[in-house]
Amino acid sequence: MPSSSRGLGYQVFILEIAGSNPAGGTTMKRKKLYILIVCLIIVLAGGYFINKKYLNNDVNQTSLSPLASLSPSISISSAQELTATPASEDIPTAYLIKNFPFQSQAPLGNWDALHEESCEEASLILVKYWKDGKSLSADQMENEIQKMIAWENDNGFPQDLTVAQLGQVAQKYYEMSKPRVEYDITISDIKKAIAQNHPVIIPAAGRLLGNPYFTAPGPIYHMIVAIGYQGNTIIVQDVGTRRGNNYNYNQKILLNAIHDWSGNKENIATGKKAILIFEE
């Protein structure tokens, strides 16, 4: 019996290992199922984390701006700085060129044909005397106007002068350093020049200025000297009236009236927006 019992026990053990034991078959199947489920969970979890890692990398790559992807050596912040608008140059809120002389273009009150057309010469004379630090009497202004117009006639200059032609007169007649003509100007250009202590001769369609002291209807073509500004006002020496010393023009009205001589009085408003700047 003992030997038979040992043989029977050995057979039962083999059957349990092979899964043939009816009593242990169910337990073995459960163990295998659990192992399979655990392996499946591990595989799915690993795949999820691996996929998430690569997905995040893709998102980070596609979220870069086109500029950064095309130009890796330029950071986004530095690229924005390249397109930033530079700040405008600061100028004082108000400025006035000091000790500027004044006389009208008809200093002795004689508004004949010659004096009615002498605003260009009178404006230049004011600048010349200011640059030389001299005062200017009515008799001196009259004498200067007469001599300059005679010289212009002898040297082929027309009666009405553009700012460029007036600059030539300044160079040749007064031997002044070359003044600078600027076109397509703005009020800011005028203020900037004045703030640098540079007087500015401005050509204008005179009747657009709306100066109440002009003899009606006012000059068709005119020139004035801008010497200061404050707020929305440009301060000028307007030789077209005896009340033109430190005369104030609204800057919008003045800008609208600025027109260089175009060669035709009927089309004066077609002239370019130009100024003549005199540096010290």
Burial level of 89, CB count in 10 A (0-12/13-18/19+)? exposed
Residue 176 covered by a domain? yes
Calculate what percentage of the chain has a pLDDT beyond 90: 65
pTM: 0.69
- Report CA dihedral (87, 88, 93, 94) to the nearest 10 degrees: 160
Q: What is the pLDDT at residue 15? A: 39
Contact 163, 188 (CB under 8 A): no
| Residue 82 domain flag | no
Q: Are residues 138 and 216 in the same domain?
A: yes
DSSP label of 84: P
Domain shared by 182 and 107, yes or no: yes
Same domain, 100 and 183: yes
Q: Which of 132, 141, 129, 143 is nearest to 103 (CA)?
A: 141
Is 203 within a domain?
yes
Are 63 and 100 found together in one domain?
no
Model pLDDT, residue 104: 98
Q: What is the pLDDT of residues 182-200, one digit of tens each?
A: 999 999 999 999 999 999 9
Is 176 in the same domain as 263?
yes
* Residues 124 and 180 both lie in one domain: yes
Beta-bridge mates of residue 95: 229
Q: What is the pLDDT of residue 16?
A: 43
Distance CA 58, CA 166 (A): 69
| Number of domains composing the chain | 2
Q: Are residues 123 and 160 in the same domain?
A: yes
CA dihedral 114, 115, 117, 118 (to 10 degrees): 110
Exposure of 35 by Cβ count < 10 A (0-12 exposed, 13-18 middle, 19+ buried)?
exposed
- Note whether residue 253 is domain-resident: yes
CA distances from 228 to 39, 131, 188, 203, 224 (A): 89, 16, 12, 16, 12
Q: Is the pLDDT of residue 252 over 70?
A: yes
Please report, for the domain that includes residue 223, its CATH number: 3.90.70.10
Last residue of a domain, one of 67, 86, 110: 67
Whether residues 123 and 178 fall in one domain: yes
| Angle between helix 138-154 and 119-131 (nearest 10) | 120
| pLDDT at 80 (0 to 100) | 30
Domain range enclosing 116:
94-277
Task: Answer with the residue of higher pLDDT: 172 or 15.
Answer: 172
Reported as a pLDDT band with limits 50, 70 and 90, residue 265 is confident
Same domain, 164 and 47: no
Average of pLDDT values for 244-258?
98
Determine the pLDDT at residue 37: 73
Q: What is the mean pLDDT of residues 146-153?
A: 98
DSSP 8-state assignment for residue 66? H
Mean pLDDT on 189-217: 97
Tell me, yes or no, whether 76 lies in a domain: no
* 129 and 30 share one domain: no
Considering the domain architecture, whether residues 133 and 243 belong to the same structural domain is answered as yes
Round to whole Å and give the CA distance between 10 and 184.
113
Candidates 190, 97, 105, 99; CA nearest to 142 is: 105
Over residues 11-29, the pLDDT tens digits come to 433 334 344 444 455 555 5
Digit-coded pLDDT (tens) for 33-70: 667 676 667 656 655 554 444 444 443 333 333 333 33
